Amino acid sequence: MEILQVVLQVLLGLSSLLLTLLILLHKGRGGGLSDMFGGGVTSNLGASGVAERNLNRITVILGLVWIACVIALGLITRFSDGL
């Protein structure tokens, strides 16, 4: 069970970093923080509708992986306390 917990923690850390980067890559919709952090880069990446849709899909899938890791780690922690 400890190996699974370590694997989930590593996966949670990697997905957290990647999710942060992907969210910052999204096209700004009104001049917020996304324009402050390299607005030129985001406008080039978000110029294509296909690229923006793929970025959205990857972000949603990675978010679901992150949520699944959090829930799995919570359940492991909850039920391994009694052992």
Domain edges within the chain:
20-25+49-82
Helix intervals (H) in 1-83: 2-25, 33-36, 39-45, 49-80
Cβ-contact 26, 46 below 8 angstroms: yes
Distances (CA, A) of 70 to 25, 27, 77: 24, 27, 11
- Please give the Cα distance from 16 to 59 (Å, whole number): 11
Look up residue 17 and give its amino acid: L
Reported as a single tens digit per residue, the pLDDT across 17-29 is 999 999 998 876 6
Please tell me the pTM assigned to this model: 0.73
Reported as a single tens digit per residue, the pLDDT across 24-46 is 988 766 655 556 666 555 455 44
